[in-house]
Chain A
Amino acid sequence: MPGKLKAKVVAGRHLPVMDRASDLTDAFVEVKFGTTTFKTDVCPKSLNPQWNSEWFKFEVDDEDLQDEPLQITVLDHDTYSANDAIGKVYIDIDPLLCSEAATVISGWFPIYDTIHGIRGEINVLVKVDLFNDLNRFRQSSCGVKFFCTTSIPRCFRAVLIHGFVEELVVNEDPEYQWIDRIRTPRASNEARQRLISLMSGELQRKIGLKVLEMGGNAVVGYLQCFDLEGESGLVVRAIGTACTLDKISSTYTAAIVQNLSNSSPSKDMKDSPQAVPSALGCRSTHSSPVHSASSRLSQGFSVSVPTLLFAGMGSGGSAGKEAGPLKALLRQQTQSALEQREFPFFTLTGFPPAFLLHVGGVVSARSVKLLDRIHNPDEPETRDAWWEELRQEIKSHAKALGCHAVVGYSESTSICEEVCILSASGTAAILSSRFVQDGALDTDHRFEDVAPPACGFCHIPYDELNMPFPAQLTYCHCCRRHKVPDVLFTTIDVPTEANVTGKGCLIQARLCRTKKKGQGEGNATAISNLLPFLEYELHTQLLNKLKLRGMNALFGLRVQISVGDTMLLGLASATGVYLTALPSPGGIQIAGKTPNDITYEQHISNMQKKINDTIAKNKELYEINPPEFVEEVIGSPIPEPRQRSRLFRSHSESSDEVLELDLSHGKKDAFVLEIDDTDAIEDIHSLLTDAPTPPGFYSCNTEIMPGIYNWTSGLQMFTSVRVFRLSNANLTNQGLNKIFNDLCENLLKSLYFKLRSMVPCCLCHVNFIVAVPEDELIQVAVTAVAMSFDKDQSQENGRQSGDKTLMKAITENEEQLQFPLELSAESPSNPLSCAKGLSEVSGPLPSARAPSVDHSSFTDRCSSWIEQLRLKAHTIRRGSIKTMSSLEKASPVPEGRSRSLRSNRSCPGSSITVVKMTPLSFIPGAKIIKYLGIINMFFIRETTSLREEGGVSGFLHSFIAEVFAMVRAHVAALGGNAVVSYSMKECVFMENPNKNQAQCLINVSGDAVIFIRESELEATPSQTQSGNVQTSSNGEGT
């Protein structure tokens, strides 16, 4: 009995009218955890009920605490018939199980109904008492921290990075159970939401156990996905990187720089939940409805298409001069440490300094599987085996690149009926042993003295005489000692230490391929035959577009292949940059095949001119002016074309139209595009049709945009979804390509237009999800954040002041930092910290503003918008002579409001915290001081009155807005004011306009945090508190 969960239902507001006769509602609440249910009294005839219930106490295993959500149902009492459900709130109590995260969940939660959407709000308080039980961690993994962030979270430092953890649970999808035929859509949706919530809880707990077993205390880069396999089931799987993290407190910070080794891992273990589970994995699932049994799959059929994508190269070990032998030793050690692991994979995309030594290139593997319709619970391990297979593939690819590890690793699936494409990709790399191995500390130290150069990661990790594929090697343009490739593709973020010339930009390759309708194995074979072509062409497009922008490296590469009945969609997104260490890319030269035709020649030369102009323009646009460098080309030992066709065996006929390296042209014209058919012309056209970003805009799909440092606090996260209907079923590949390309381009254009008020601004972490929901539909969903930056400020200044504030922040006492934030409505006794109280008192005296304070940002923290509005009303009221005495009697129409007018404190949650959301791991100009736990939410929305809700757009628009609102409410209830590393991982939309129906599933995740503005850290609290509440925050991401 290791835990006591306590919940209290305070009040509701804005409830819907459930009783037409009285235009009111008799609401009560059921609070359910596991199998125990409590009920509040009925609060008759009110749309703003006050229940103020007692504390409902649940005595439960911590195992259940991890798996189960707290389920709150609001109902309308009906004397004569069954009570009507108004809606539900699921609260994930996991953040409360971690001592360092949130301590209480308290706030207004939207009451959600899968048919009607949000229907009012409910104020709930939740606490957990964990008992000090010796067996506390036997089955559960309470205390392991989870982060979606794919780098070491900002207020932690890594002691050890243990490596890859993965888990997968399978269940039947309630939507496809026989009972679904007789139950209501609402019941079915709720069963699904609840099941997925349970499965994610279970998954997280199991991963936590693995982490504990490895000796870690956290999972970073936690990526959880759902595979809706339809009739064959529902898979929830997750991967992550197990770490031992240490919270950075101010006293530490200084020490860290000097001697890392002092804080040995063993010391840290003490505060991490150490009682390593002895009986790992023996947890029986009888108490939970989730059975990790039922994976049924294709007997026998599996085609796997490994694709070794472009890679950098290099001879890490042999090239070093002074550091040579040391490095070799180091590498040996690391290698052995990593090789002990089954999968030396890391889901991280950003790394602690000096961790990433060399990058080989992108490795990816795909495999087409047939989901078996036949229920076969005797094969529970099948899906595990599929992924295992794929991971092995990746591992061997990495080996081929001379690398012992894979970083920036991710996995995904695309399902169409019974065909499923599994994909895995990452970046082959060589890592330092520093964070990987306990015993390597000595070497580490010595290595530290010869700190790796900033260009180190570009140096090829493999032997130049034994290259896995051809590449043009040159000496590094920075250190001039090591070899570097001519282009480098990676799935990671731009390393902070990397030298980048100019700015980067989003590069996308888009491709559509028609496919015949098929079934079963034939279909799977057809798809797997198409895949290599698709992948190859995407790659070619990427390379061409990269050259066209005068850049030489891609970061954050993500290739998505979506499968539909009649087509395959491929979308590769990455951020192109010019790495100073790499050679300048050659131009693109077009060569025609029929030299006698004069008009044709002319056409070609026109195109050539256009291309050259574009390259020149792009270089200017992205400020790419690399320093001149005398180049010695080290030829690739193997003739290019042959090598290529070895990799892409099946690509024989079309291989002559693709780019070839023309070594004779030297640096500038290394790239020749041969035009021999319409296809190639089409390709070049598409190359040139990418509209440049409008002035003032930049875009990237990585965390940070190289070349921009001076971010302002303007921040706007958004999701945009488009569905395109192809009316003509008999489209050619080119036609489809053009449509798909235009769809993406137009979507981007719309985004730029929408966000024009934020200029100069950069769209960061632009994440496209493509899908083929039906035969003739293409769906594209984009989530990104627009961040405005200060153009006038010079780069250097921005960088310097940023550093300065950071230093300041770090040196300040931690407790002091947190103090203004811990303020809550319940502690008005502290006059300094209680901004609310103060502002109320000093309402009419807004003049006392501290000049140097960032008012707009301050408002985020200390109060909510309603209060400001109220305050305005308040001051005006006082100013008006006639009404002096009328203050109390005035107008009590909506009771809640008039009361809150008078006192903010009487109604604890009536204020709304501003919650920022961003897909990035940080908030510009702010310091994250606390991680409150991960947010992982899954919602279903369905409607049977599509037209009435404004059609498909109206339906989805309100659903996405509702999802945002629920995420914000949960974060606010945890005491946070932002979500970082936010992502929308799933957006499945289905419609049936004829029946006036639609359904949508959305899965989002992120890390709830508390942040404070750096400017606030500098200003003394007493100065700032008074006036600013009234200055409205126009700086807020317009």
Chain B
Amino acid sequence: MSVELDVFVGNTTIMDKEVYQLWLNGYTVNDAVKVRMEGGVMEECEASAEVLLSDTMDQFRTFQMCERLLQNPAKLANQLLFQIPPDRQAMLIERYYAFADAFVREVLGKKLSKGTKKDLDDVSAKTGITLKSCRRQFDNFKRVFKVVEELKGPLVENIRQHFLLPDQLARDYAAIVFFANNRFETGKKKLQYLTFQDFAFCAGQLINNWTVGAVDNMVEDMDVDLDKEFLQDLKDLKILIADKDLLDQHKSLVCVALRGKTKVFNEMETNFKNLSRGLVNIAAKLTNPKDVRDFFIDLVEKFIEPCKSDRWTATDVNLYLTHYTNSAHILDSFKYQTVWTRYMGVIKSCILRMYHE
């Protein structure tokens, strides 16, 4: 004796946000029912386990039928099969494309390839996120990547239009695409303390200032690839550390400006040359793709760690970097002002974001 068939179809498609989340989280129907029972929905509505099971199965089925459309959100809006109010559509899309920070930290900067997908079970085991959910998130990344790859125009805009995502989520995806494209290393132990949002912020900075799109928004891949010319120009900055006079001059200018304004002045003075070398060397090496990948590692090793060990506060870092950047402009013999501004603007905001006290 069993229920052989059990369906419910509404003219307006009924979707429970909570059940949708359980489905997205990759729960099986039975697990989802358990979670819902614990959530107390039964007492609230005098429902039995049977009712809950039937409802959950039905909704999971609906979601499965919608999944094809969710993968192409523009279709969701002009398909005829499901009548879904626009606010619901937006919710469905947003949640479908939402991802777990824990998950994204694992794949950020990795190549979105089959190989990575195969390793998802490890990611699942490590993060406690179900494999199913990992796969969905990974496939989302990959899908967005593929679509955007072939498009002209600004990255965030393209993502927002094609996937009808809210602004913030579109920006996050832009960061993911950007990281995947440039294969930035984010998984090293030293970088573990950084959150996805830290990286997303940095990606935003890089996209807005260092890509081709920052100067010309007509080119393909404009927001995905770093501006090669700019990277080339960065080599010129080497003079700041290679020319001893310039280095000393720079140092004294910074020290004059900083004196008396911070408790760690002595440390700043002692470390100036080291830190400056570190930052300029990062700039000079960026023409090499391998070093681009290590960009964040380098920032941490060459700048953040030394500062940390000297117990600089974030304010100190800010102060230092401001004067460090500005003083270079006063140097008479330093001619690469535009490149310097473009470089240091990003470096400063990235470091400040990455500098967790």
Contact = CB atoms under 8 A, between A and B. Distances in A.
Given A110-B80, A869-B86, A725 B4 contact: yes
Nearest to B150: A893
B152 A964 contact: no
B182 interface: no
Contact of B164 (A777, A873, A965): A873
Given A866-B78, A965-B81, A890 B9 contact: no
A882 B162 CA distance: 18
A961 B81 contact: yes
A777 to B, nearest CB: 7
B50 A746 contact: yes
Contacts of B72: 894
A727 B11 contact: no
Contact of A865 (B1, B51, B85): B85
Considering residues B55, B62, B64, B81, which has the most beta carbons from chain A within 10 angstroms of its beta carbon? Answer: B81
A723 B61 contact: no
B269 interface: no
A883 interface: yes
A59 interface: no
B147 interface: yes
B11 A964 contact: yes
A724 B82 CA distance: 27
Interface stretch (B41-49, B258-266, B275-283, B314-322): B41-49
B170 to A, nearest CB: 9
B51 A750 contact: yes
A444 B164 CA distance: 64
A612 interface: no
A512 B54 CA distance: 24
A603 interface: no
B5 A956 contact: yes
B341 interface: no
B87 interface: yes
B65 A961 contact: yes
Contacts of B81: 110, 118, 958, 961-962, 965
B316 to A, nearest CB: 33
A60 to B, nearest CB: 29
Contacts of A950: 61, 64
A873 B160 contact: yes
Contact of A1032 (B46, B55, B65, B85): B85
A754 B83 contact: no
A652 interface: no
Interface string A928-969: 000000000000000000000010111011101110110011
A825 interface: no
Interface in B283-338: none
A683 B47 CA distance: 25
Nearest to B6: A722
A876 B48 CA distance: 45
A910 interface: yes
A1034 interface: yes
B152 A890 contact: yes
A754 B5 contact: no
Nearest to B46: A694
A882 B48 CA distance: 54
A753 B65 contact: no
Contact of B161 (A13, A777, A891, A965): A891
A911 B54 CA distance: 34
A886 B157 CA distance: 9
B137 to A, nearest CB: 22
B51 A873 contact: no
B92 to A, nearest CB: 12
A210 interface: no
A779 B208 CA distance: 61
Interface in B55-98: 55, 57-58, 61-62, 64-65, 72, 74-75, 77-90
Interface in B176-218: 208, 217-218
Name the residue among B14, B64, B80, B90 with the largest chain A CB count within 10 angstroms: B80
A753 B167 CA distance: 35
B2 A720 contact: no
Interface in B143-186: 147, 150-154, 156-158, 160-162, 164, 167
Interface residues of B, number: 64
A749 interface: yes
B33 to A, nearest CB: 13
A121 B80 CA distance: 9
A889 B218 contact: yes
Interface string A971-985: 000000000000000
A550 B35 CA distance: 40
Most chain A beta-carbon contacts within 10 A, residue among B11, B13, B161 = B11
A918 B86 CA distance: 21
A1003 to B, nearest CB: 16
Given A894-B74, A917-B11, A756 B80 contact: no
B113 interface: no
A1037 interface: yes
A214 B101 CA distance: 74
B112 to A, nearest CB: 18
A718 B78 CA distance: 21
A723 B154 CA distance: 53
B152 A889 contact: yes
Contacts of A636: none
B89 A720 contact: no
Interface in B1-36: 1-14, 16
Interface in A1019-1038: 1032-1034, 1036-1038
A894 B54 CA distance: 38
B4 A914 contact: no
A883 B153 contact: yes
Contact of B5 (A722, A891, A1036): A722
Contacts of A1036: 12, 85
Contact of B10 (A13, A717, A885): A717
Contacts of A725: 1-4
Contacts of A894: 72, 74
A885 B216 CA distance: 11
A891 B54 contact: no
Contact of B47 (A13, A749, A866, A912): A749
Contacts of A726: 1
B277 to A, nearest CB: 34
Contact of B77 (A719, A866, A889): A866
A915 interface: yes
Interface string A848-865: 000000000000000001
A899 B159 CA distance: 17
A622 interface: no
Contacts of A716: 10-12, 14
Interface string B108-129: 0000000000000000000000
A916 interface: yes
B65 A869 contact: no
A1037 B12 contact: yes
A287 interface: no
A754 B84 CA distance: 16
Given A720-B8, A752-B45, A910-B78, A958 B65 contact: yes
Interface of B: 1-14, 16, 45-48, 50-52, 54-55, 57-58, 61-62, 64-65, 72, 74-75, 77-90, 147, 150-154, 156-158, 160-162, 164, 167, 208, 217-218
Given A118-B81, A957-B7, 17 more contacts: A13-B78, A14-B75, A14-B79, A721-B6, A724-B1, A754-B58, A866-B78, A873-B164, A885-B217, A886-B153, A891-B157, A897-B74, A912-B77, A915-B83, A961-B82, A969-B80, A1032-B85
Closest 6 CB pairs of A and B: A723-B5, A1032-B87, A866-B77, A890-B153, A718-B10, A865-B86
27 contacts: A14-B75, A718-B11, A721-B7, A722-B6, A724-B3, A725-B1, A726-B1, A728-B1, A746-B48, A751-B8, A752-B45, A865-B84, A865-B85, A873-B160, A894-B72, A953-B7, A953-B61, A956-B7, A961-B9, A961-B82, A964-B9, A968-B11, A968-B83, A969-B80, A1032-B86, A1032-B90, A1036-B85
